[in-house]
Copies of this chain bind each other. A is one copy, B any other.
Amino acid sequence: MKIGVHKIAMAAPNDVSGLKCLIDSGVVDPATIVALIGKTEGNGGANDFTRGFATLSFQLLLAPLLGVTPDEIGSSIAFVWSGGCEGVLSPHATVFTQTPSEVAETPRLALGIGITRDLAPEEIGRMAMVEAVAEAVRDCMDQTGITNPQEVHYVQVKGPLLTPARITDARARGAALATEDPNGSKVFARGAMALGVALGLGEVAAADLCDQVIARKLDLFSSVASTSAGGELKNCEVLLFGNSPAFGGDYRIGHATLCDVIDADGVRAALASAGLVARLGLSSADATRIAAVFAKAEASPTGVIRGRRNTMLSDADINYERHARAALGAVIASITQDPAIFVSGGTEHQCAPGSAPIAAIVRA
């Protein structure tokens, strides 16, 4: 098998013309699409509806081509959107296909997709969620034929948070929850999913995990997890990317850790890990080898970046996640020369506190 990587520009959240063009011209067979990861131009907050609009628009494009209903698309293709195109970040989607292929001489980009069972409200943000994600991660590794967790470079997970309705339901049943604050539950859900990745990949030991460490003991973490939580989900969806000897194709993936949102060395380390040595002033030829970059951006927990006070967390006009994405997105694009990159927020148990993961897919 091999994974195809197709980046398409979007002129609006409902602009699916880029994918339609690839399909019409025969470059992409819709039946081979397995996942789509993208940025939309909303505010990235609770009232950002550009993500849902984009998903619906792609479902409406693909459903007739695949002979299913728009709703059914969701069970065969994973959609991951991050809202918020701050600074230079450009709305786009990266479409992943999987097609038969010879293996290559060296391990190549592989993608495994796993789904957990639906989780009860009292399982969200707790060990049950950690264990369900860990199991899905192991299942993804089996799919990809990757046996060495070091060859896993990026694990995107999205899953449920506690909505008011779920909290009411749990109360009625007398079930204890991680928190009774809907917004506060994001932290626990993202944290539990990240620890699930860490457990599945052996980055943390099962013995060190319990409900009490989730979103609290932050020196337990995964270096490759990128997690998000939304009220529309009941189960967790795992997209595991790595390099597998069982896959062919042209791409390799690598990753690194960003120490802060202006860590240019970290960006270059991710490219190097994927096989591209980014010298000063990347050549155009090298720049076009970069197929996709995925990173998390976070405010400095200390309020200080490189010894200077940062005002993200005290800004009442612009949410700190928007400041952080604007900064990191510009730094990455200044190196890769492409503003169509995936930068999202929220890093509980995703790298050590203050740092964040970055992954890059590069043409071999």
Contacts and interface: CB of A to CB of B under 8 A. Distances in A.
A285 to B, nearest CB: 15
A91 B268 CA distance: 28
Tell me the dominant secondary structure on chain A's binding face: loop
B49 A13 contact: yes
Contacts of A322: 318
A86 B13 contact: no
Contacts of A354: none
Nearest to A11: B309
A128 interface: no
B42 A49 contact: yes
Nearest to A315: B47
B92 A41 contact: no
Interface stretch (A107-115, A241-249, A330-338): A330-338
A87 B87 contact: yes
Residue among A50, A305, A322, A326 having the largest count of chain B Cβ atoms under 10 Å: A326
Given A44-B316, A56-B56, A265-B281, A337 B306 contact: yes
Contact of A327 (B87, B91, B268): B87
Contacts of A12: 49, 52
Given A14-B49, A47-B41, A316-B48, A334 B331 contact: yes
A266 B262 CA distance: 17
Given A311-B41, A330-B87, A14 B56 contact: yes
Nearest to A7: B308
Contacts of A13: 49, 53
A329 interface: yes
A44 B9 CA distance: 24
A16 interface: no
A60 to B, nearest CB: 8
Interface string A250-273: 000000000001111100100000
Nearest to A50: B49
Interface of A: 9, 11-14, 41-50, 52-53, 56-57, 60, 85-88, 90-92, 261-265, 268, 279-281, 305-312, 314-319, 322-324, 326-331, 333-335, 337-340
10 contacts: A43-B43, A43-B316, A45-B315, A48-B316, A49-B49, A262-B330, A264-B334, A306-B337, A308-B338, A316-B319
